[in-house]
Structure 1
Amino acid sequence: MELIFPFEPVISDEIPQEDFWRYEIKWDGTRILTYHDQEGTKLFNRKQNERTCHYPELLQVGSYCDADSVILDGEVIALAENGKPSFHEVMRRDLIQRLERVSEVRRLVRITYMIFDIVYYNGEWVNGRPLSDRIELLHKIISPNENVQLVASHDNGDTLFQVVQQQGMEGIVCKDLRSSYSLGGKDDRWKKVKNYGDVIAVVGGFTLSGGFVNAVLLGQYDNEGKLWYIGHTGTGKLTKAEWRELTQLLEPLKVEKHPFARKPERHRDAFWVKPVVTAKVQYSEWRWQEGRALRQPSIQSFVNIPPEECKLPWV
Structure 2
Amino acid sequence: MRNAGERLKFIPPMEPELVDTPPEGDDWLHEVKFDGYRTQVIKDADGIRLLTRRGHDWTARYQALAEEAAAIEAETFILEGETIMINEAGLSDFHALQAAVSKRTPSRDLYLVAFDLLHLNGHDLRDTPVEDRREILHALIPAGGRIQFSEALPGTGAAVYHLVDQAGLEGMVSKLKTSVYRSGPTMNWRKIKCFAEKEMDIIGVQRETGKPAMVLMADKGHYKGGAFVTFKADKRQRLWDRVQGKVGGPVPKGLKKEKAEWLKPGLVGRVKFLKGEEKLRHAKLLDYRETK
TM-score (normalised: structure 2): 0.69
Deviation, 1:30, is 0.9
> Which residue type is aligned with residue 19 of structure 2?
S
* 1:232 aligned partner, one-letter code: A
Question: Which residue does 1:247 correspond to in 2?
Answer: none
Q: Which amino acid aligns with 1:231?
A: M
Q: 1:281 aligns with which of 274, 278, 282?
A: 278
Whether 1:38 and 2:45 are equivalent positions in the alignment is: yes
2:85·2:93 contact (CA, 8 Å) conserved in 1?
yes
Question: Contact 2:47/2:70 (CA < 8 Å) preserved in 1?
Answer: no
Q: Which residue of 1 aligns with 2:174?
A: 174
Counterpart in the other structure of 1:186 = 185
Match of 2:164 in 1: 164
- Contact persistence 1:284–1:295 (CA under 8 A): no
2:73 to 66, 74, 77: 66
Is the 1:172–1:192 contact (alpha carbons within 8 Å) kept by the matching residues of 2?
A: yes
Residues 232 and 22 (structure 1 numbering): CA distance in 2 closer, same or farther, change over 3 Å?
Answer: same
How far has the Cα of 1:146 moved from its partner?
Answer: 2.7
- Quote the offset at 1:141 in angstroms: 1.7
Distance in structure 2 (CA, Å) of the matches to 1:24 and 1:235: 35
Q: Distance in 2 between matches of 1:160 and 1:173?
A: 10
**Post-superposition offset of 1:145:** 3.1
Residues 114-123 or 53-62, more deviating: 53-62
Distance change in 2, residues 1:258/1:27 (3 Å): closer
Cα 1:37/1:294, change in 2 over 3 Å: farther
* CA positional deviation for 1:140: 2.3
Q: Could you tell me which amino acid in structure 2 is paired with residue 42 of structure 1?
A: R
What are the within-5 Å matches in structure 2 for residues 1-315 of structure 1?
A: 1-60=8-67, 61-63=69-71, 65-96=72-103, 99=104, 101-102=105-106, 106=107, 110-156=109-155, 157-183=157-183, 185-196=184-195, 231-234=217-220, 258-262=254-258, 264-266=260-262, 280-281=277-278, 283=280, 285-286=282-283
Pair 30,235 (structure 1): closer, same or farther in 2 beyond 3 Å: farther
How many residues are aligned here?
Answer: 230
| Aligned equivalents of 1:229, 1:18: Cα separation in 2 | 38
The change in CA–CA distance for 1:151 and 1:216 in structure 2 (over 3 A counts) is farther
What are the ranges of 5 or more consecutive residues in structure 2 without an aligned counterpart? 1-7, 205-213, 223-250, 266-275
Query: Partner of 1:158: helix, strand, or coil?
Result: helix
Q: State TM-score, norm by structure 1.
A: 0.64
SS at match of 2:159: helix
Residues 95, 260 of structure 1: alpha-carbon distance in 2 compared, 3 angstrom cutoff:
farther
1:6: how far off? Answer: 0.6
What amino acid is aligned across from residue 94 of structure 2 in structure 1? F
State the Cα distance separating 1:62 from its structure 2 match: 3.6
Structure 1 contact 229–262 (Cα < 8 Å) conserved: no
Tell me, yes or no, if the aligned pair for 2:43 and 2:70 is still in contact at 8 Å.
no
In the alignment, residue 38 of structure 1 is paired with which amino acid?
A
What is the percent sequence identity of the aligned residues? 27
CA contact (8 A) 1:22 1:176 kept: yes
Contact conserved, 1:230 with 1:294, CA < 8 A, in 2? no
Alignment-mate amino acid for residue 154 of structure 1: L
Divergent runs of 4+, >3 A: 214-218, 228-231, 255-260, 263-269, 282-285, 293-296
> Aligned pair in 2 of structure 1 residues 25, 265: CA closer, same or farther (>3 Å)?
same
2-side partners of 1:295 and 1:194: how far apart? 22
- Contact preservation (8 Å) 2:91, 2:169: yes
Q: Distance in 1 between matches of 2:16 and 2:73?
A: 28
Q: CA deviation at 1:232?
A: 2.0
Aligned-pair CA distance for 1:84: 1.2
Question: CA contact under 8 A between 1:283 and 1:294: conserved in structure 2?
Answer: no
Q: For the structure 1 residues 76 and 19, does the alpha-carbon distance in structure 2 shift closer, same or farther, using more than 3 Å as the test?
A: same
SS class of match (1:159):
helix
The Cα shift of 1:94 comes to 2.6
Q: Distance in 1 between matches of 2:219 and 2:23?
A: 34
1:203 is aligned to none
Once the two structures are TM-superposed, the CA of residue 79 in structure 1 deviates from its matched residue by 1.1
Distance 1:140 1:27 in 2: 21
The structure whose Rg is larger is 2
- Partners in 1 of 2:146 and 2:257 — Cα distance? 46
